[in-house]
Amino acid sequence: MSPCPVLMAAAFPIANTSSVLPLHRNVFRSDFSPEITSNGRHSLSTSYTHVNPRQRRGHILCQSASTEKPKSRRNLLDNASNLLTNLLSGSSIGSMPVAEGAVSDLFSRPLFLSLYDWFLEHGAVYKLAFGPKAFVVVSDPIVTKHILKENAFAYDKGVLADILEPIMGKGLIPADLGTWKQRRRVIAPGFHSLYLEAMTKIFTDCAEKTILKFEKLLEGVHGLNPIELDLEAEFSSLALDIIGLGIFNYDFGSIQKESPIIKAVYGTLSEAEHRSTFYIPYWKFPLARWVVPRQRKFQEDLTVINSCLDGLIKNAKETRRETDVEKLQQRDYLNLKDGSLLRFLVDMRGADVDDRQLRDDLMTMLIAGHETTAAVLTWAVFLLTQNPLKMRKAQSEIDAVIGQGSTTYESLRRLEYIRLIVVEALRLYPQPPLLIRRSLKSDLLPGGYMGQKDGYSIPPGTDIFISVYNLHRSPYFWDHPDDFEPERFLVQRKIEDIEGWAGFDPARSPGALYPNEVISDFSFLPFGGGPRKCIGDQFALMESTIALAMLLQKFDVELKGPPESVELVTGATIHTKNGLWCKLRKRINDQQHLIRLINRWYKRGC
């Protein structure tokens, strides 16, 4: 029996749909805040006062306002779908508010945008009826903390594992609890502080190659004329090369040339997204892999990637030097010829594992690692181009901290504003926008803020969507949640009338380079939370910070077209439909920059 299509859609949220980005001025300008007028239309005011969380609903702009809303009128297929839900599963999840979704909503827009609309209408915990299976949508940090941390081992990844297993096997993301516990115990020590410190050199070296490529392209234009580039594609190549060197000790060389590996990686992701939209799993038929062209291509892509990884594993094992974990962590990583994670895993005493499991681990890091970083950098640049003053503030920090030099581990710690830009981009465009869990046994979910006081009983087998997007844009836990405000993470915040939520307090995680779920008490989940939190979070955040800093150190960036022309699609992450096309110019001094801004505003009629 195949999984419910909506579950598949959430795992890789409908890659073949797109939405024009919700570009309200308040998303990008902190001197505007949205209000709802008496005629129901949005207006903009210059007030910037605190809004009581119980009154915020009218003060928040739905981020899908520029796209179609979920249907209020249903067709025959939609009504039949909801009838099946009510008959077969509607009563098993208890007395939650119910949002009835149209099956056609799955294919008209990214699902996470519809979940946001229903969140504003039905509250932070509701039941969504799609076809013969109902499921629970959670947009509350109190409930999220219960599922991810307090009762984490009562849940597994559910349908996500079904989709990813053909690609990642038993890697950390799709693995069952038993395999996950075993592999996490082995892999986690590899991301130790000396390793991460040494990785900053790889991050910097790869970013410098990208910058050099841009500078050579600029040599071919005259004066202050810009070059035009798809920065999303460039960031993807950069992230792939970093993963190759840092995880495998292998140079994909994708910054300078098109890599067959990256083609294969995107091919496998595309197939996973394709499978998320089909009711009938035809790919499971015995002859499908040979008869269906896209299935043949999928198998070819897997062969390319697996062949590369098998070769890397073989080479690493041929030069194995078995050592205890403690001694491995004390190696001189700054001067090691091979300080990769693969080397660490192969050399670890007592961590003997078959090549298939090791390959699954590496495949997971290859795909999840580079996709996330490319998306974070893409949206960070997109947001900065709408906020020229914040971009100048970022560049001023870069000038003060590193000048014309290279980024180091020490300077990374001083690039506070750049780090905050990265996490604010992750707040507004979380990667991924949804987390998926399935209950392994009966559980009592807390009611959360403004939910049912006695909580919600759920039976085994309940599929749950934790909407990270909704958590990050909740009008109840964030002031001006749609605004791009990197500075918000510096301020302690507690709402007294929200029982069970400890608020936002940087002091809860002393020494942390980046805000996390501990500091925010699960209202901010850039990499999940609890035992199954992403193991490479610091790696991804650090490489994103260095890459962004080095880009802004050398170049001024603006969008090629209007912001409204940038469309989003979702797969494993939120990314653009046609790339992030930008104009890059060499950095200019403040006087030249002021003249350029005046000319730009004059042309726009401001």
Res 75: pLDDT = 56
Report yes or no on 225 lying in a domain.
yes
Looking at 219-354, list the stretches that DSSP marks H as alpha helix, in order from N- to C-terminal side. 231-243, 260-275, 288-291, 293-318, 325-329, 341-347
pLDDT, residue 41, reads 32
Same domain, 540 and 417: yes
* Residues linked to residue 559 through DSSP beta bridges, in sequence order: 582
Interval 134-150: pLDDT, tens: 789 999 999 999 999 99
Q: Which tens digits make up the pLDDT trace of 273-300?
A: 677 656 577 888 888 888 899 999 999 9
Q: For residue 389, tell me if it sits in a domain.
A: yes
Task: Name the domain boundary from 451, 486, 502.
Answer: 502
Indicate if 163 and 143 belong to the same structural domain. Answer: yes
Same domain, 360 and 473: no
User: Is position 169 within any domain?
Assistant: yes
Q: Which amino acid is at 497?
A: D
Among 429-433, 494-498, 599-603, the range of highest mean pLDDT: 429-433
The mean pLDDT of 418-444, rounded to a whole number, is 96
Q: Which band of pLDDT confidence, cut at 50, 70 and 90, is reported for residue 513?
A: very high
User: What is the structure's pLDDT at 24?
Assistant: 36
For the cut 90, the answer to whether the pLDDT of residue 417 exceeds it is yes
Mean pLDDT of 35-41: 33
Average of pLDDT values for 195-206?
96
Tell which wins on pLDDT, 89 or 33: 89
User: Which one is predicted more confidently, 148 or 160?
Assistant: 148
In the chain, what percentage of residues exceed pLDDT 90? Answer: 54
- Contact by Cβ (8 Å): 122, 470: no
Share of the chain above pLDDT 70, in %: 79
Per-residue confidence (pLDDT) for residue 282, from 0 to 100:
84
pLDDT over 60 at 91, yes or no: no
Is 524 part of any domain?
Answer: no
CATH number at residue 551: 1.10.630.10
- Please check whether residues 416 and 291 belong to one and the same domain: yes
At residue 385, the pLDDT reads: 97
- Report the pLDDT averaged over residues 562-577: 87
What does the block give as tokens for 218? 């600029």
Residue 25 has pLDDT above 70, yes or no: no
Flag the least confident range among 124-128, 256-260, 586-590.
586-590
Mean pLDDT of 201-212: 97
Cβ neighbors of 572 (< 8 A, separation 6 or more) are 12, 269, 272, 273, 367, 368, 371, 432
For residues 556 and 585, the answer to whether their CB atoms sit within 8 Å is yes
Q: Is residue 117 part of a domain?
A: yes
Q: Does residue 536 contact residue 365 with C-beta atoms inside 8 Å?
A: yes
pLDDT at residue 334, rounded to an integer = 84
- The 10s digit of each residue's pLDDT in 329-355 is 888 888 888 999 999 999 988 777 788
In this structure, the answer to whether residues 260 and 359 fall within a common structural domain is: yes
What length is written for the chain? 606
Domain match, 219 and 111 both = no
Interval 546-551 mean pLDDT:
98
| 526, 425 Cβ separation under 8 angstroms | no
In a domain, 40, yes or no: no
Q: Which of 142-156, 253-267, 483-497 has the highest mean pLDDT?
A: 142-156
Q: Is residue 457 part of a domain?
A: yes
pTM for the model stands at 0.85
What is the full DSSP assignment across 245-261? IIIIS----TTTS--HH
Write down which residue in 502, 519, 541 finishes a domain: 502
Sign, CA dihedral 303-305-310-315, equals positive
Do 296 and 409 share a structural domain? yes
User: Would you say residue 147 lies in a domain?
Assistant: yes
pLDDT score for 101: 60
Report the relative pairing of strands 98-100 and 125-130 from DSSP bridges.
Answer: parallel
Q: Are residues 152 and 209 in the same domain?
A: no
| Position 364 pLDDT exceeds 80 | yes
- Same structural domain for residues 110 and 212? no
Task: State yes or no: pLDDT of 433 exceeds 60.
Answer: yes
Same domain, 373 and 498: no
Per-residue pLDDT at 221 = 80
Residue 542: which domain range? 191-427+532-603
Dihedral of alpha carbons 74, 76, 82, 87, sign: positive
Convert 88-113 to b/e letters by CB count within 10 Å (16 or more is b): ebbeebbebbbbbbbbebbebbbbbb
Q: How many domains are contained in the chain?
A: 2
pLDDT number for residue 4: 52
- Give the pLDDT confidence score for residue 547 in this predicted structure: 98
Of the candidate ranges 199-213, 414-428, 484-498, 520-534, the one whose mean pLDDT is the lowest: 484-498
Residue 56 clears pLDDT 50, i.e. is over it: no
Please compute, for residue 486, the number of CA atoms within 13 A of its CA located in the half-sphere on the CB side.
20
More confident residue, 327 or 63: 327
Q: How confident is the model at residue 440 (pLDDT cuts 50, 70, 90)?
A: very high
Average pLDDT, the chain: 82
Does 409 share its domain with 471?
A: no
Q: Are residues 416 and 448 in the same domain?
A: no
The answer on whether 534 is annotated among ligand-binding residues is yes
pLDDT at 73: 52
Contacts of 332 (CB under 8 A, 6+ apart): none
- DSSP assignment of 2-27 equals PPPHHHHHHHS--TT--EE----HHH
Strand partners, 385: none
Distances (CA, A) of 414 to 188, 420, 422, 425, 543: 26, 11, 14, 19, 15
What is the pLDDT confidence band of residue 129, given thresholds at 50, 70 and 90? confident
The structure tokens listed for 267 are 């091919």
> CA-based diameter of the chain, in Å?
73
